[in-house]
Chains A and B, each alone.
Chain A
Amino acid sequence: MTTTEMMTLKTEPFVLNFGPVHPSTHGVYRMRATLDGEVVLDIEPVFGYLHRGVEKLAEERTYTGFIPLTDRLDYISSMSNNLAYCLAVEKLAGIKVPERAEYIRVIIAELQRLVNHFIAVGTFLNDCGAYMTPVVYMLREREKILDLFDMVCGQRLTYNYMRVGGVSQDIPDEFLPALKKLTGTLPRFIEEMEWLIKQNEIFLARTKGVGILSGETAINCSISGPVARGSGIKWDLRKADPYSVYDRFEFDIPTCEAGDCYDRYRIRMEEMRQSLRIIEQAMRDIPSGPVRADVPHLIRPPVGEAYAHIEAPKGELGFYLASDNSIAPYRCHVRPTSLINLTALREMVRGWKVADLIVIFGSIDICLGEVDR
């Protein structure tokens, strides 16, 4: 081929299909990426591979009967989903929760945050190329927390533990000593993990300055949770709009300024430490007493609507309920953290390489059960 012939050769963008079944999509997420060589020009997310019509199913169930389905939204952190839904029903029906139950809820929710961040950081490192070693360490520690959940409700993934007006049963006597033992070892583990990760040059090169999300875009795109806090937005519903008994505990909201993948990872590591702080205080102050208010089997809230939201591990998770004074919700809407956090993905990946696309996507931490519902 002569030089003149080579000069006339043209390149053109092509479309590459990611997923829905691909190890780095964390479920059945699919995106159509338009590439120019190795550079990402644009992506188009395609949802719905796990759509089960949860909101429609809610309209055919009683208020209590819907709790098991909330487990299956964000199945990495089922307890948080239970909690958000129960808070919404309690707000709608005006039910007061006993003190002890509130403390149990806080302990369980913070343990759930630890579990979620273990998985989030572990799989994120998988995406960065540290294949399987870190995630197995994370899963080892997660296992210990799952044992605690097993102790309180007999389940390891779909707990169905929180109930309207409290929790399904009191924690057993051996729970608090076991929790104390675990929280004694976890700070060292987190320290060790961080020490292994943050000195790794490859990890730093892959994440620092990559996939920057500005605070302004984050607010405009309704981003919440660690992703927003990584972009410098000091917004945490546990402080901004305290629910349950979170206003009684002392903890900090970690924020970072750069808004890159590394900051999102750092926020999660720091949040684990803050969760441990909350658990310690809750363990110290937990009162005795009943764990469930007197709630009828079939709840009939007055006509009206209510929205309750919590700071779930991934961000703001909320339930909007409308009641027509029957035993089933007239309308139940889930405010899906994972779906809304994906809004800014398009802007974050433009101009980066295909390999970075995987890292940026992994740093958002989504769960497809919640995206598609």
Chain B
Amino acid sequence: MTVALSGKEIASQIEEKSPGSVEESSQDSLVVKSDSLLSVAAFLKDNETLKFDYLNYITAVDYFSYFEVVYQLTSLEHNHTVVIKTRCYSRENPAVPSVIGVWQGADFQEREIYDLMGIKFEGHPNMKRIFLWEGFPGHPLRKDYLQ
């Protein structure tokens, strides 16, 4: 059985290494500040006891006051998992750093989120629409999108 690690516990480990990078944490997940996402991602992947080498999925949710980007990570060796999130508060130009350098599996998923939710992933080598055509007005998965 894959063990879901406590978000609070992981948060305290991250805080120990780079203080001030965790915004919020609960039993199920932890929210990381977007400007320290990359260092947290590298820490989670390289740490011997955590070793989150597998990115299950990335998705994004529009909560009106902010966008939340959700990452689920699994360690195939230790068989445990954690959900980390990051938020962007701008509706005009939401952006988070791309984790493609840490987990290459993020490639198409980040493009999909950009296409449908309009969040830019900084540092992604090919940040363009994936399903809809260039010039499509708006981003359909946003809650204020009108058909």
Contact = CB atoms under 8 A, between A and B. Distances in A.
Contacts of A342: 108
B2 A318 contact: no
Contacts of B1: 241-242
Contact of B57 (A217, A242, A322, A335): A335
A221 B104 contact: yes
Given A241-B2, A320-B70, A220 B131 contact: no
A233 interface: yes
Of B106, B108, B116, most A-chain CB atoms within 10 Å: B108
A235 B81 CA distance: 14
Interface in A169-223: 217, 219-223
Contacts, number: 82
Chain A interface size band reads: 35 or more
Contacts of B104: 217, 220-222, 343-344
Interface in A119-140: none
Contacts of B70: 305, 320
A268 interface: no
Contact of B132 (A51, A322, A330, A343): A51
A318 B57 contact: yes
A159 interface: no
Of A235, A307, A333, most B-chain CB atoms within 10 Å: A333
A322 B68 CA distance: 12
A56 B141 contact: yes
27 contacts: A48-B129, A53-B140, A55-B116, A217-B104, A219-B76, A220-B53, A220-B103, A220-B104, A221-B104, A221-B105, A221-B107, A222-B55, A222-B56, A222-B103, A222-B104, A233-B76, A241-B1, A242-B1, A309-B56, A316-B56, A318-B57, A320-B70, A339-B109, A339-B112, A343-B105, A344-B104, A373-B131
User: Can you list the 9 inter-chain pairs with the closest CB atoms, starting with the nearest?
Assistant: A222-B105, A48-B131, A241-B2, A333-B59, A51-B131, A335-B57, A331-B61, A220-B104, A221-B105
Given A235-B76, A331-B141, A340-B109, 4 more contacts: A51-B132, A318-B56, A322-B61, A330-B61
Interface of B: 1-2, 53-57, 59, 61-62, 70, 72, 76, 79, 83, 103-109, 112, 116, 129-133, 140-141
